[in-house]
Amino acid sequence: MGLICLGIAIYLLIKAMRKPAQARPVSLPKATPVAPPIPAWKKALVKLEELRLSGLAERDILAYHYRLSAILREYLEEQYRFNAMEMTTSEIRHQLRKWKELSFGDALSILDYCDTVKFAKVQPSAEQITLQTQALQLYLMRQGGLNGL
């Protein structure tokens, strides 16, 4: 019985070796183009424009400044890869010192201004709010190189 099984196994092995393997066509998935990622400064500009158009500055100055600060912090977090949303302005200032070749004076000035409204309960004038909003807009535009728009 064992001899019969051995004979069948040898026969099948020889038959398999003679038969050329049929190549199956490999179908690769179609490559779909991926949109390039939107730069952090552009995202922040869009959010800033939405905030400006929301009318929140006239309804709730405190909420407006929390949002203004958050837009800048989100930009810094995405651009420089540190947890700016969870840091104080002093911690952010310390973190930004790592990039000595870059100037963050404007960004820190905006954060300091927002802190005075949020925590020191300073009541800014409409002109101050407009100026600081424009300052953030200009800062973000400079980050994008002004010509990247």
20-52, pLDDT tens digit by residue?
656 677 777 787 888 899 999 999 999 999 999
| Closest C-alpha to 135, from 71, 80, 61, 43 | 71
9 within domain boundaries: no
Q: What is the pTM of this model?
A: 0.76
Range of the domain at 119: 40-143
26 within domain boundaries: no
96 within domain boundaries: yes
93 within domain boundaries: yes
59 within domain boundaries: yes
**CA–CA distance, 93 with 91 (Å, rounded to integer):** 5
104 within domain boundaries: yes
Count helices and strands in the chain by DSSP H and E runs? 7, 0
105 within domain boundaries: yes
Number of domains in the chain: 1
103 within domain boundaries: yes
